[in-house]
Structures are given as structure tokens and as C-alpha cells.
Amino acid sequence: MPNFTDVTEFLLVGLTRRQELRVLFFVVFLVVYMVTLLGNIGMIILISISPQLQSPMYFFLSHLSFVDVLFSSNVTPKMLENLISETKTISYVGCLVQCYFFIALVHVEVYILAVMAFDRYMAICNPLLYSSKMSRVVCIRLISVPYVYGFSVSLICTLWTYGLYFCGNIKINHFYCADPPLIKIACGGVHIKEHTMIVIAGINFTYSLSVVLISYVLIVVAVLRMHSADGRRKAFSTCGSHLTAVSMFYGTLIFMYLRRPTEESVEQGKMVAVFYTSVIPMLNPMIYSLRNKDVKEAVYKIVAKANLRK
């Protein structure tokens, strides 16, 4: 029988042990985190106060920004603390809480991206019925499903994480509490946790990605049937930002969670995790604003009003 230990805390190895790089990483990720907060909170405020941004697409985009703020805030503050601290510990309960919110927010985000793809399908393929079919009540119901489902699934997954047993090794080869490195250091309860992680991730990524792909196949068919070149260009421009966000988020998560945890995959996953916990939440507001005429016009109007008041 393995010698199980009662774990009260874990040691997070972090991104690097080199002191000079730790200072550099702290400055870089602090700037990235501040830009993420300002960009996403700014997007939420802009959508809430701009009359021209009251369509379903921007309603869903405001929730994507909200989830990105929570997603980054669940990981980055602890990572920043550990970069400048000599004691890189996290309590057992704190680790489970971080796992819970991470898994929940990942599921919420992938299904919000699927809902946004469905919204684009309705807008482009059924423009005459769009306003009636995508009413405020329908939008609230659609956005409620990812939250309820994501936090429910996460509770089950976290209970399986709670079922892991440890035999003295409390060093997590990561900068936050993630399932793959936890599985790697556990000595009991590994089999069920490892397989359920891969199965649940596979089912949810496949289902949500299928909604996205089917929506865009139907969109492409509808766009190719359009006679107006301007109409085709406008349709593709509204979808381009969303496709960029989907490609980045799904690509990094599939690389992380649809493989068995090994020393090599955990080390590679740590680098990939930097991208989807810090970089993607920072880039999303830029992706959706720089290529979006409505968002740019809303910003110009607010700036113009502010200048007139002066």
C-alpha cells in the first residue's frame, strides 16, 4: 500500500527558478494583466452605454469579456505573487478552489463562443427573422446555459480532483493548480481522474466546436449565395474576429487537456497555459474592436462627447 499523506498545501514550481527572469516576468505579466482588466472592463462599459452596441452579438461579447476578466484573475494574481515571493505555496483548499473556477470558466467560455457562432448564423442566414428569433429573453436564456452547465460540470470534476491521494510529493510543476500536473504527482485516484478529464474535455470541446463549425459552414454557404460583394465582405468581417478568438482558445486548450499527463506534456502545457490564461484574455478586446466598425464608431462618439464637455 502506498504511504498516503494528508496534504495541507502545495508548492507551485512556477515559470522559472532564475531570479533575473522572475523579475522580468513579473513586470511583463503585471502589464499584461492590467491591460487585460482595462480592455475587458472597458469593453463591458462601452457595450452597456452605447446605443449602437445593443444587439445580441455585443450582449454575448460583453459576457465573453466578463468571463475573460474572471479567467485571468483566477490565475494571474497568484502567479505574480509567486514570482516575487520565496515561498511559492498554495493551500490545499485554495488549490481546489482555483481548479474549480478554472474548469468552470473554461467551459463557460467555450460555450459562449459556440453561442456567438450560432448568433452569427442567425444574423447572416436568417436576417429577416433575426430580431424576433434572437429577442432579449432568448439571449438571456442562451447565455445562462454556459454558466449553469460550466459551474455544474466543474463541481463534478473538482470532486474527482479531491479524490486524488498524495504520497509526499507536493511540488506542482506549474504556475497554478491545473489537473495534468496534479495527476502527475498523485499516487492514488489517478486512473478515474485522468480518464474522466480526457473524456469530459473531449465531449465538451467536440460538442461546442461542432456548433461553431456547423454554424460557419452554413454561413459560408449563405455568403457565397449573396450577389452583393459588399454584403459578402461585411458578413466575413463580422465573423473574422470570432473565428480568430475561437482558433486561439480551442487550439491551446486541446493541446493542454486532450493528452495524457507526462513530464514532457506538463512542461509544454505550462508554456501553452501562459497563452490562454494571460495573452488571449488580453487580445480578445483588441480582436473584437480593431476589426469592428461599430465598436470603433462607439469609441469615437464617446471621445467626441467627452471633448465637447471640456
Residue 188: its pLDDT value, please? 83
Rounded Cα distance, 41 and 69, in Å = 8
Residue 150: its pLDDT value, please? 95
* Amino acid occupying residue 210: S
Structure-derived torsion over alpha carbons of residues 66, 74, 14, 25, reported in degrees to the nearest 10:
40
pTM of the predicted structure, to 2 decimals: 0.89
Residue 4: its pLDDT value, please? 54
Residue 267: its pLDDT value, please? 66
Q: Which regions of 144-243 does DSSP assign to beta strands (E)?
A: 165-166, 171-172, 186-188
Residue 1: its pLDDT value, please? 43
* Amino acid occupying residue 176: Y
Alpha carbon of 283 to those of 40, 41, 239: distances in Å? Answer: 9, 13, 16
**Other CB atoms closer than 10 Å to residue 251's CB: what's the count?**
13
Pairing of strands 171-172, 9-12: parallel
Residue 129: its pLDDT value, please? 85
Q: Which residues of the chain have pLDDT under 70?
A: 1-5, 231, 256-268, 291, 308-310
Phi, psi of 274, rounded to the nearest 5 degrees: -60, -40
* Amino acid occupying residue 30: L
Rg of the chain taking only CA atoms, in angstroms: 21
Contact 242, 116 (CB under 8 A): yes
| Domain residue spans of the chain | 9-308
Alpha carbon of 182 to those of 35, 88, 91, 162: distances in Å? Answer: 30, 16, 14, 11
Residue 274: its pLDDT value, please? 85
Residue 264: its pLDDT value, please? 62
Cβ partners under 8 Å of residue 281, min gap 6: 36, 40, 68, 69, 71, 72
CATH architecture of 9-308: Up-down Bundle (1.20)
Classify residue 186 by its DSSP letter: E
